[in-house]
A and B are shown apart, each in its own frame.
Chain A
């Protein structure tokens, strides 16, 4: 038993030391916050977690914040962590929660009593457009051909992507609706996670695939998937894949991520957090992280972000109703 206890202690100490020892030492030049409490409504290692940690990395390197405290509570697209943040951090001026499109959709499909509407929008930071791909041996050489197949019979083309009601499924629903079909006619094959979905597309098990661009980027570059269209407002930099808008399909959809504050804070406290994130966004370190992780900058702060969020919620609700999931 003694041995077990000792190895366990070593394990926890080593894990703690690794987070402490390797973080850059803050220079307290233009420090805006003594400390920030960062709540991640997802497990470590995912997109929301890396967004939160990237904010820490940039803010501490620039000396904007003295220290960060993290809490990860994952599950159900953020719906497990969100109520906990809202209840425990109400009125706390230095608390932030990471969230995004996934949380918008999860709140609607799960009919959760506490949703993204219950936290205070601070800023949208990044977004990622979706991409529609087909296996390399697919008969569909271009978008027109795939769109014709969808128009004729949406069910005849099984489309692989992430879980039902998620961003990928929503994008497909929007596309079918724009093509004049009922989104419920889709043969949508939901896979648990990016790995199995990619394997199914690479192996030609499904007729087409839809997901965030970064999921498929390397397969597209290697010629193992053929990209037909992207769902963003503009083309993805460095690629020549046309957008759906260019192709005459009036659909834009993007998976965005941002930060929110706790409910019950004063307008001045909200402004201080908006200023902090604006300053983080302006640092050279943030630019570096964006480039390194291939994230698309989609900075939008304060009231403009709040307006965008309202619109996004309304739009998502409509699609999910069309898909029969809300």
Chain B
């Protein structure tokens, strides 16, 4: 119960008028950068760093936490409405969310995303409050071998997004893997596929490709077809709000998403994207009507949106308990701690208890604030769809360009984004799915690096993946996911044959 008393103390600090204002400013800014493609929470927090010279530490961290959470809320909006994910963690949301919007169900999609984010964010914050040290100790048990085996499961889960043709889906996955290789290799320091361009040494930014494939490609695609009057209309129909059925179909995915997302935030190789793939995969497998997936299944929005918010809270756990940054935003927040002369580490809770608890309290407040901020906005967002297509997509292109340039002030990034956009347009024309490209780009480097790290540690012994128990368990799960469906199908078929033949 000591925890509750400390948390109450944190609320006392966080609920002061000044800090509430900082929380609101953070949530608002965060939602805005989440909506804008390319610009993410990491860059925003970095740009806000100079305020640490003048503002008390608690207020600055309340602001940063608001930006971080807010970006997770805002990112889903453009994914759903316009098929242009604002952040890499909301790419999966676009798959079902945009299909819902196309069928005039943008309102319920936005609502389930906002409420799911709130539910999962609150559950994850509560878990952070009470279990952070335990979860972090468990996460430390995972080494490179376990991460690699986890990536194997993730590659199996990719099958859910391959689309109608497995060959086309896998082709796109491999294209993504190739994009992921570009840049200096971490283990040897040698450049790969950079074609002598210094700007490519750090690799291609995932957000640049995502914005190119979704926003730019979508725009070019529409522009190319506009003259022929093949413009897809998005009529608004039905309720803006969740119906009873929507709610019944959403609440379980919210909870499962929270459960999947939270631990992923805590592991150093996690990130917010992986749990969204897993959540999508699981919802698709568990859905009563799996045939609806790809045509606007609300579960496919509710689950991944809950997962990415829960993982955002998860990321704060290793940062606050051990001083370990597991995301770029967390790393920048750590440098903010240092400019206050605070060295974040295992002793942070003891030495800076008041600050940490007020930051945790602000997460609860920020979550509630974001829900209040976002629900009324749904009506307004949906009206965006009434803007005539040419103007709307012209505007998207402008924002995508600003956002992509803003990531690193690099013209090469812009060139890559437009080149990828052109390829993306052709992919749409010939019905190649785009999601596997981005997923390959995220998973490929993670899998490759953890495989090689594990091999260096085991001194070249491949059996390390099987002799380490957690790694072996992950591989067993992956094998079961691949083998179980055909085996069960064959079994059912042989039973049916046995019954039908006398």
Contact = CB atoms under 8 A, between A and B. Distances in A.
Nearest to B25: A14
B21 to A, nearest CB: 12
B346 A219 contact: yes
A11 B48 contact: no
Given A50-B339, A218-B345, A219-B323, A195 B51 contact: no
Interface string B36-76: 10000001111111110111000000000000000000000
B335 A196 contact: no
Contact of A218 (B188, B201, B344, B457): B344
A156 interface: yes
Interface stretch (A15-23, A95-103, A309-317): A15-23
Interface stretch (A119-127, A158-166, A237-245, A247-255): A158-166
B395 A4 contact: yes
B207 to A, nearest CB: 14
Interface stretch (B26-34, B149-157, B291-299): B26-34
Interface string B268-302: 11000000000000000000000000000000000
Contacts of B380: 3
Interface string B180-207: 0000111111110000001101100000
B36 A76 contact: no
A190 B49 CA distance: 29
Q: Which of A4, A71, A163 has the most CB of B within 10 A?
A: A4
Contacts of B346: 218-219, 222, 224
A79 B410 CA distance: 13
Contacts of B185: 164
Contact of B46 (A43, A109, A164): A43
A313 to B, nearest CB: 17
B298 to A, nearest CB: 25
A325 B457 contact: no
A317 to B, nearest CB: 14
A22 B55 contact: yes
A67 to B, nearest CB: 14
B456 A18 contact: no
Given A3-B384, A4-B395, A196 B31 contact: no
Contacts of A72: 409
B487 to A, nearest CB: 35
A218 B51 contact: no
Interface stretch (A198-206, A258-266, A267-275): A198-206
A284 interface: no
Interface residues of A, number: 72
A1 B269 contact: no
Contacts of A11: 29, 32-33, 36, 44
A257 to B, nearest CB: 14
B332 A45 contact: yes
Interface stretch (B101-109, B115-123, B134-142, B225-233): B134-142
A304 interface: no
Contacts of B10: none
A300 interface: no
Given A109-B189, A163-B189, A224-B346, A158 B201 contact: no
B98 to A, nearest CB: 17
B177 interface: no
Given A192-B186, A196-B268, A198-B324, A187 B341 contact: no
B392 A1 contact: yes
B174 interface: no
B296 to A, nearest CB: 24
Q: Which of A79, A190, A221 has the most CB of B within 10 A?
A: A190
A156 B199 contact: no
Contacts of A195: 268, 318, 324-326, 330-331
Given A43-B46, A194-B325, A198-B324, A165 B343 contact: no
A80 B457 contact: no
Nearest to A193: B331
Q: Which of B35, B198, B340 has the most CB of A within 10 A?
A: B198
B353 to A, nearest CB: 15
A33 interface: no
B409 A73 contact: yes
Interface in A281-315: 291-294
B326 A158 contact: no
B399 interface: yes
Given A4-B399, A18-B51, A155 B268 contact: no
B500 interface: no
A164 B188 contact: yes
Contact of A45 (B49, B143, B190): B49
Nearest to A323: B189
Given A1-B384, A164-B188, A187-B457, 6 more contacts: A8-B32, A23-B50, A190-B186, A192-B186, A195-B326, A219-B322
Top 9 A-B pairs ranked by shortest CB distance?
A218-B345, A165-B189, A205-B143, A203-B140, A44-B46, A76-B201, A22-B54, A222-B346, A164-B189
Interface of A: 1, 3-5, 7-8, 10-11, 14-15, 18-19, 21-23, 43-46, 49-50, 53, 57, 71-76, 79-80, 83, 109-110, 112, 155-156, 158, 163-166, 169, 187-196, 198-200, 202-203, 205-206, 214, 217-219, 221-222, 224, 291-294, 325
Interface of B: 25, 28-29, 31-33, 35-36, 43-51, 53-55, 139-144, 184-191, 198-199, 201-202, 268-269, 318, 322-326, 330-332, 335, 338-341, 343-348, 380-381, 384, 387, 391-392, 395, 399, 402, 408-410, 449, 453, 456-457, 459
17 contacts: A1-B384, A8-B36, A18-B48, A22-B51, A23-B53, A45-B335, A53-B49, A75-B199, A76-B184, A79-B198, A158-B459, A165-B189, A217-B343, A218-B347, A222-B346, A293-B338, A293-B339
